[in-house]
């Protein structure tokens, strides 16, 4: 985005994840002016690297003088994903342990069972990996002490549906009752996929943006 004193845009994209980046690209290709809101400094056109080989502008490694937007993190964890016919309810309300402060927490709705935190095959694979890598197999403390499963991919919340009583957004990604407000990210996915959802989010964002007319 170039320097502007007016802040007059056709679309404002909140977040530059898989959904946000795809939406911004496709809308700009159709002739719209687009602003992307993300944490950090405001990027000018000359700040973006023209190639990944420009590591100073591409990678985020301040120790080496690189102040780009791509941060690489090497994980030492074993991630096991499972599919389960289940769902959770997220509640944002005051909590006693926050001394009246608000907190977003999950609860198990009536008629649903808690997702299992102990997966025998996952533990067995982790033990074998630890033996080969001379490591120590450990479980997440919440799983071991409270039998609470964890996830890195919280999906849903603004699911697609044909009518307002069956979804938050329509097939075009527009929020029912709020014209020109679109959702094109993981929250339109109705359930956990059991695999990394990045490609599904990208495909859904492409589908939603394909329905926007050219300017």
Residues with catalytic function: 153
Distance (Å) of CA 118 to CA 180, 195, 199? 44, 18, 28
* Contact criterion met (CB below 8 Å) for 192 and 8: no
DSSP lists the bridge partners of residue 50 as none
Rg over CA atoms, the chain = 21
* Contact criterion met (CB below 8 Å) for 60 and 69: yes
Burial class (CB within 10 angstroms; exposed 0-12, middle 13-18, buried 19+) of 197? buried
Half-sphere exposure of 111 toward its Cβ, with a 13 Å CA cutoff? 1
* 32: Cβ contacts below 8 Å, ≥ 6 apart: 10, 11, 215
Compute the distance between CA of residue 173 and CA of residue 182 in angstroms, rounded to an integer.
5
Phi, psi of 211, deg, nearest 5: -90, -5
């Amino acid at each position: 985005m170039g320097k502007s004193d007016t802040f007059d845009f056709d679309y404002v994209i909140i977040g530059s994840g898989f959904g946000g980046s795809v939406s911004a690209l496709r809308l700009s290709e159709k002739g719209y002016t687009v602003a992307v809101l993300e944490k950090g400094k405001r990027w000018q056109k000359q700040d973006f690297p023209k190639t990944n080989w420009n590591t100073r502008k591409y990678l985020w490694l301040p120790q080496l003088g690189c102040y780009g937007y791509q941060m690489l993190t090497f994980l030492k964890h074993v991630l096991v994903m499972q599919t389960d016919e289940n769902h959770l309810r997220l509640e944002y309300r005051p909590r006693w342990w926050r001394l009246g402060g608000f907190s977003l927490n999950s609860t198990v709705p009536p008629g649903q069972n808690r997702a299992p935190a102990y997966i025998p095959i996952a533990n067995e694979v982790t033990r074998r990996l630890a033996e080969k890598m001379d490591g120590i197999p450990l479980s997440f403390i919440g799983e071991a002490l409270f039998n609470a499963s964890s996830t890195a991919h919280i999906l849903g919340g603004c699911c697609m549906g044909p009518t307002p009583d069956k979804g938050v957004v329509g097939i075009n990604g527009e929020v029912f009752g709020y014209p020109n407000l679109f959702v094109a990210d993981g929250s339109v996915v109705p359930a956990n996929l059991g695999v990394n959802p990045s490609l599904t989010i990208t495909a859904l964002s492409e589908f939603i943006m394909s329905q926007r007319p050219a300017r």
